[in-house]
Structure 1
Amino acid sequence: MKKTRLLLARHGGTLWHENNQVVGQKNAELSMKGLERAEKLARFLRNEKIDLIYSSSLGRSFDTAKVIAKYHRLRVIPSTELVERGFGKLEGMDKKKVIHELGRLKDPVLEPSEGESAYDFEKRVIGFVERIIETDKGKTILIVSHEGMIRVAQKYLTRFDRTRDDDDYAVSFCGLTEMVINDLEKGEIAVKKWDEISHL
């Protein structure tokens, strides 16, 4: 059976992140620092054999993916299924001022006003991951996306490893997680890198 290599990379940071604002599905652009990190990640991956690059359709991820893609002569495939969880009316607000509300939204079925529940978000992300592992079997796939999406994928692919707590599911800006999938149904998945940031 062919093994599938999955690379998960978070986008570079934005001014919204630097100002501690809730970003969600707002189309915040990469900051200068974010662009610098994207370039460092791209150079780190430049000698990797990557077959496909998928990205969230939001600018901060898509722009990060394009920086990487230039080293591989690949077209970035954008997908709305890879966008961050929608936090509705909380987006743009100072995280410190809405920290209680954000905590409540860990409840799987609670939806922020004009936003998306954790359940619906996870269902969307897992559906995409399962599909590409099946359709792109045996290839090396890079996904450039967001903290929430990558954390959901990490938890799902490691079967919610009980030896890890939430703090272990860190997702740094331009951090890289690598997993080799032999058999998804049987859980035959090897973690090769976990939020690798040595290149930064």
Structure 2
Amino acid sequence: MKTELILIRHGETEWNSQNRLQGHKDSALSSEGLRQADALATRLATFRFHALYSSDLGRALETARRIAARTGHTVVPDTRLRERGLGILEGLTREEASQRHPEVYESYSHEGADYVVPEGESTGQRLAHAVACLQELGTRHRGERVVAVTHGGVLSLLFRHSLGIPIGTPRAFSVLNAGWNQFDIHDGKLRLVTWGDVTHLQATSRDDT
């Protein structure tokens, strides 16, 4: 029996709007991010699912808590759903990172899955954590539907992993804040079903005009 996994990227943060690298450091949801989280909550309030998980980082938890307030679920934090740790690059814009740590930023931008950012981690390490988490959820919730709030970097890795794309391949797709992405998991294998659905955001935008 398959498990349906609705994986959601957190709402926009202040650092997202400033194009800052976040990693394990945190930034509050922006006013737009709060609107996005509430739009997700409205959609999920009419959607039957069995459990609500979240990265333990603040931006994801705030998104999940706003969903839980509408759906009645308990938020279950899991560190394996965290964003990739970016160590000494966290909190910097890409321009600042390239100026202050040129060699590290160059390696971060172009090295493969095994490159570990100083004081951070590699994409391969982060993907392994995320896949282990989803496989566990697939076993725990066999035949059920689960929602999990995570991060853009994690979703980007899972997208590549599910399609057999090398994880070091440059990204040629969008990972939208508050986007709705569905993966099915069966016998520990992920299958991509829906990617980047933001119809709930468009609906609230129309309602606001």
Q: TM-score, normalised on structure 1?
A: 0.87
Alpha-carbon distance between aligned partners in 1 of 2:4 and 2:127, rounded to the nearest angstrom? 21
Does the aligned pair in 1 maintain the 2:159–2:192 contact within 8 Å?
Answer: no
Does the aligned pair in 1 maintain the 2:36–2:178 contact within 8 Å?
Answer: yes
The correspondence of residues 99-114 of structure 1 with structure 2, limited to 5 A, is 101-102=104-105, 104-105=107-108, 106-114=111-119
Bigger Cα displacement from structure 2, 83-92 vs 172-181 = 172-181
Matched, 1:180 2:179: no
Given residue 96 of structure 1, which amino acid in structure 2 is its aligned partner?
E
Match of 1:131 among 118, 129, 136: 136
**Long gaps (5+) in structure 2:** 202-209
Does the aligned pair in 1 maintain the 2:54–2:75 contact within 8 Å?
Answer: yes
Does the aligned pair in 1 maintain the 2:55–2:82 contact within 8 Å?
Answer: yes
Given residue 124 of structure 1, which amino acid in structure 2 is its aligned partner?
H
Count of matched residue positions in the alignment of Structure 1 and Structure 2: 193
Bigger Cα displacement from structure 2, 138-147 vs 63-72 = 63-72
Alpha-carbon RMSD across the aligned residues, in angstroms, is 2.1
Does the aligned pair in 2 maintain the 1:50–1:72 contact within 8 Å?
Answer: no
Cα separation, partners in 2 of 1:165 and 1:57, compared to 1, 3 Å: same
Does the aligned pair in 2 maintain the 1:3–1:180 contact within 8 Å?
Answer: yes
Query: CA-to-partner distance for each residue in 1:131-172, whole Å, 9 max, x for gaps?
Result: 1112211111111010011122222233339xx98323x210
- Equivalence for 1:158: 163
Alpha-carbon distance between aligned partners in 2 of 1:195 and 1:126, rounded to the nearest angstrom? 19
Does the aligned pair in 2 maintain the 1:129–1:153 contact within 8 Å?
Answer: no
Does the aligned pair in 1 maintain the 2:41–2:71 contact within 8 Å?
Answer: no
- Equivalence for 2:16: 17
Give the Å deviation of 1:199.
1.5
- Equivalence for 2:205: none
Cα separation, partners in 2 of 1:179 and 1:120, compared to 1, 3 Å: closer
Alpha-carbon distance between aligned partners in 1 of 2:105 and 2:81, rounded to the nearest angstrom? 20
- Equivalence for 2:68: 69
Given residue 199 of structure 2, which amino acid in structure 1 is its aligned partner?
S
Bigger Cα displacement from structure 2, 118-127 vs 53-62 = 118-127
Given residue 176 of structure 2, which amino acid in structure 1 is its aligned partner?
S
Given residue 32 of structure 2, which amino acid in structure 1 is its aligned partner?
K
**Long gaps (5+) in structure 1:** none
Matched, 1:171 2:180: no
- Equivalence for 2:207: none
Alpha-carbon distance between aligned partners in 1 of 2:129 and 2:170, rounded to the nearest angstrom? 23
Alpha-carbon distance between aligned partners in 2 of 1:165 and 1:98, rounded to the nearest angstrom? 19
Q: TM-score, normalised on structure 2?
A: 0.84
Alpha-carbon distance between aligned partners in 1 of 2:126 and 2:196, rounded to the nearest angstrom? 21
